[in-house]
Structure formats: structure tokens, C-alpha cells
Amino acid sequence: MVPNTISERLFHRAQAVIPGGVNSPVRSCRSVGTTPFFVKRALGCRLEDEDGRIYLDYVGSWGPLILGHAHPRVVEAVRFAATQGTSYGIPCRMEVELAEKVVSMVPSMEMVRMVNSGTEATMSAIRLARGYTGRPKVIKFDGCYHGHSDGLLVKGGSGLATLGIPGSPGVPPEVVAHTLSLPYNDLDAVETALKAYGETVACIIVEPVAGNMGTVIPKPEFLPGLRRLCDTYGSLLIFDEVITGFRLAPGGAQERFAVRPDLTCLGKIIGGGLPVGAYGGRRDIMEKVAPLGDVYQAGTLSGNPLAMAAGFAMLQELSEPGIYESLEKKGEALEAGLREAARLADVPLTINRIGSMGTAFFTDKEVSDFASALQANTAAYGVFYREMLARGVYLAPSQFESFFVSTAHDREDLDRTAQAALESLRVVKTVAGS
């Protein structure tokens, strides 16, 4: 293909020097049969690409930008912080202020350690759970993503307790031998696994609302059941709230579902759009982390002053009254618009939404776990993605991701999105025959 647009030319250059032309695989847009546009700048809920096209953004950098792009409070905090030095490698005030803020918003986190990404947060929390319990095994769930550390890159196996199969070349089988992957929302499978391996299970790690197989909402008994089973078998419960933290409520999914995990992993929103992750939880467990305890974990740029300032400004803004009520209403309005569009276009969609996140699955079946998510018609989603993009609406370039609404989306944006969805679904109907 001869590159025509500036984005295409940049992608061409990128492919020569960056694997696949991207620094994270899903950005390549392969699964929706297209190539990426390159962003020039972004403001509020809008992105502008290098060719001057404007898109309504429902990805929000995969979750962090709950206040939209370049929010003035965050920009000002970063601007000021930059004038004071960009990294110290020794303690600074902003680390304390952000940690205090996190602890006040997420009560189960009595202590917190800052890292630089969600991957680091989950990897460190698992090491800590193993160090604290002295047990080797980890239970995760099919379709949940916890970053790309070796031990968590395990393919979802079907059926009961599937012992770790590496999900990527480069991960030796021994490294994932202690990782069990079970179907989401299936407490019986967890109980059976714990009966078999209970004495050796350090922790259960779960996305309390899954975002990485598309949005999948826990059944009412699932999270309380995990809590109960962890207590029975002496395993720790880790909530990976990298997406849901500060998204579903000030205190994340654990506040919304009133279940208290032992450890919580955070990322995305906590950094205000800069690279931050964090893990924290019960004081007696966190006191095992070096230098207080013997579980080692460190980071040259951890607690970086720019990132701390951005995160603190973000969390302060999110503490203003009415933010979550307004996000809920916007999420509802988007869902209603999509449902109506699907009805009018006569395309079966299963829409899972909670607060300001959700997924429209191209299936008429309930989606409650990875197996049911995989029944969605990905070809139809690809058509939908491309048609929406052509109408100036940017959705996640994969069926198995979530949309995110920000405080910057207004009623008119949501109405425009519903109209674009109707037109796009009509095309899906003719092309994909769904």
C-alpha cells in the first residue's frame, strides 16, 4: 500500500524501527482490519490526528483520562512540577500527599507503594502475597489481564483448574506452573481448585469488574464468594483495580461491591495520564515489603514527582462533589443510545456497562465470562469500528476491550455518538449480515 496520509507515512516509518510500528500491540489496529492514526494533540474528549481529523475519544488512553485530555488542573500540576526538577530518586512531598490521598479514598489500602505501571503493581503484589503466605500458587481468571509479567501471562484454559500453559513464547513452563486460570464468575471452579490446592494457594487475583475481555460484570455472589473462600483457605484476595480504581467510585469496585480485598493494584487513573502504578493493602502485609520486610521491590523512577503531581491533581478533582453521579448519567446515556441504535438497525448487541465503562458485544447471548465473550462476532465489530471511525468516533480497536466515558463528554457528544452508531450498525447489518 502506498502511504497517502501523514498517519500512513508515519506508520510506514514506524514499522521500520518499532516492532509492528507500535509500542503496545493492540494499537496496531490489526484485529479491526485497519492501521492506526497518529495523534497530534488531544483536548477534552477529542483527539486530533496528524492529518487534522478530529475524533470523539472513548478509549481515553485505555482508561486513565477520566477527566478527558489535558485537564487544566492536571496540566498545571505537571507544568509546575517540571520546573522543580523531573526526578530526584530520593523522597519528596508529593509521594506522601498522593499516598495519603489514595489511602483516604480506598480504605482497604492502609499502606501503599508507588510503582510505574499496572504490570509492576500486579507483579509486585503477587510476589508479596507469596512472600507473606509462604505459598507458591496463584489463581487468576480466564480473560482477565494483569499486565505482561511472565507468571501472569497464562492462557485461559477451558474447564476446571487448568494448570498454567504459557501464553507467550519466552515464558518457560516452570514460570507459570504455579498459575491456575479459572472461568470468571464461576465460584464452584474456585472452590474445587482450592479443595485440591488450598494449602499451596498464595492468592486469588481478579479484576473485580473485568475490562480486558470487554467489560464483564461480576455476578452478585462472585466477589463476596471469593472473599469467603480466601478466608477459609488462608489465601490473600488481590483486586486488580488498574482499570476500575477511581473509575467506578472514589474507592473503586471494592467500594461499589462492598468487598474488602487484602491487597489492591492500581494504575491508569492514579497517574493522571503519566506512568504510575501502585499496590497496597493491609498494613501487616505491606510491612513485609523492603526495607521494613524482606520482600524486595524497587524502582529508579518510582514516586516520580511529575507523575505524583499529575495523579494528585487528578484525585483531587475526582473528589469534587457530583463527579461520579455525572459519570454514571453519561454512561447510562451512552448505553441507552447504543441500545436504541441496535434496536433500530436490528443488530443484536449485548451491552455490559457499569458506571462510565462498558462494552457492546456483537452477540445476542449473555456475556459473563471469557468463553461467552469469545462468541462475539469480531468481524462485525471490525466493520463497526471502521464505520464509527469514519464518522469521527474512536472506539477501542478490539471487541475485547472497554469503552470509557470521561467527564469531558457532554450530552451533544453522546447524542452524536448514538447517531453515528445507528448509521454504522446499519452498515454492519448489510455487510456482516448480523
Residue 212 within binding range of ligand PMP, rule CB under 6 A: yes
Minimal distance, residue 353 CB to ligand PMP, in Å: 17
The nearest distance, CB 240 to ligand PMP, in angstroms, is 5
Region 49-78 residues binding ligand PMP, contact defined as CB under 6 A: 62
Catalytic site positions: 145, 240, 268
Residue 243 vs 389, nearer CB to ligand PMP: 243
CB of residue 340 to ligand PMP, shortest distance in Å: 29
> By rule CB under 6 A, what string of x and - marks binding of each residue 127-146 to ligand PMP?
------------------xx
Binding to ligand PMP (CB under 6 A): which residues in 260-279? 267, 277
Q: What DSSP designation does 13 have?
A: H
CB of 292 to ligand PMP, least distance (A): 25
Residue 118 is a binding residue for ligand PMP (CB under 6 A): yes
Buried b (16+ CB within 10 A) or exposed e, 1-17: eeeebebbebbeebeee
Q: Which residues, at least 6 apart from 223, have a Cβ–Cβ distance to it below 8 Å?
A: 206, 208, 253, 257, 259
Q: Closer CB to ligand PMP, residue 15 or residue 61?
A: 61
Classify residue 85 as left (phi > 0), alpha (psi -120 to 50) or beta.
left
DSSP 71-112: -HHHHHHHHHHHHT-S--SS--HHHHHHHHHHHHHSTT-SEE
d(CA 69, CA 426): 31
Question: Cβ contacts of residue 95 below 8 Å, gap of 6+?
Answer: 114, 303, 308
Is 147 a binding residue for ligand PMP by CB under 6 A? The answer is yes
Taking CB under 6 A as the binding criterion, the range among 237-245, 316-324, 332-340, 413-421 that sits at the site for ligand PMP is 237-245
- In one-letter notation, the amino acid at residue 13 is R
8 Å CB contact between 87 and 301:
yes
217 in contact with ligand PMP (CB under 6 A)? no
Q: With CB under 6 A as the rule, give the number of residues binding ligand PMP.
A: 16
Compare residues 64 and 337 and give the one whose CB is closer to ligand PMP.
64
Name the one range near ligand PMP by CB under 6 A: 115-123, 192-200, 334-342, 352-360: 115-123
Report, in Å, the least distance between residue 119 CB and ligand PMP. Answer: 3
Q: Residues 152 to 211: which contact ligand PMP by CB under 6 A?
A: 207, 211
Cell numbers found for residue 420 = 453515528
Sites for ligand PMP among residues 329-388 (CB under 6 A): none
Residue 352 is placed in which grid cell?
A: 455490559
Helix (H, G, I), strand (E, B) or coil at 149: coil
Interaction of residue 245 with ligand PMP, rule CB under 6 A: no
* Close Cβ partners of 151 (under 8 Å, ≥ 6 residues apart): 123, 126, 138, 175, 176, 178, 179
| Residue closer to ligand PMP, measured from CB, 275 or 293 | 275
How far apart are alpha carbons 388 and 426 in whole angstroms?
Answer: 11
Look at the block and give the residue holding cell 469467603: 228
- Between 240 and 369, CB nearer to ligand PMP: 240
Using CB under 6 A, pick the residue from 28, 31, 119, 359 that binds ligand PMP.
Answer: 119
Nearer to ligand PMP, 55 or 400 (CB): 400
Interface with ligand PMP includes 311 (CB under 6 A)? no
Cβ-contact 403, 320 below 8 angstroms: no
Show the cell assigned to 163: 494448570
What is the nearest approach in angstroms of ligand PMP to the Cβ of residue 404?
11
Other CB atoms within a 10 A radius of the CB of residue 186 amount to: 18
Q: Which is nearer to ligand PMP, 311 or 337 (CB)?
A: 311
Q: Give me the residues that bind ligand PMP (CB under 6 A), please.
A: 62, 117-119, 122, 145-147, 207, 211-212, 240, 242-243, 267, 277
